[in-house]
Amino acid sequence: MLDEHYPYYLANVPESPNADLAVTDKYIGKIATRVALADHAAIDTAISGSLRGVGDDLVHRGRKADQR
């Protein structure tokens, strides 16, 4: 059985600012559950967080392990 609504995850933290997106059961055509939708601010936060996460990798790329 599905929960009534589900969050989205931002940096491994569940966020439930809304339950705007209805998920339809493809077999019976009725709403099965609802999920949260990220707004522009949440998407910008996710992008900046991902860039911080790969920053060190970009610095170290192309260097040998003993040069890091």
Is 46 inside any structural domain? yes
Is 66 inside any structural domain? no
Q: Which domain holds residue 30?
A: 5-61
Per-residue pLDDT tens over the stretch 1-34: 899 999 999 988 999 999 999 999 999 999 999 9
Is 67 inside any structural domain? no
Domain total of the chain: 1
Q: What does the pLDDT average to over 47-54?
A: 80
Answer whether residue 67 shows pLDDT above 80.
no
Is 32 inside any structural domain? yes
Answer whether residue 47 shows pLDDT above 60.
yes
pTM: 0.66
Is 49 inside any structural domain? yes
Pairing state between β 13-15 and 8-10: antiparallel
Cβ atoms of residues 39 and 10 within 8 Å:
no
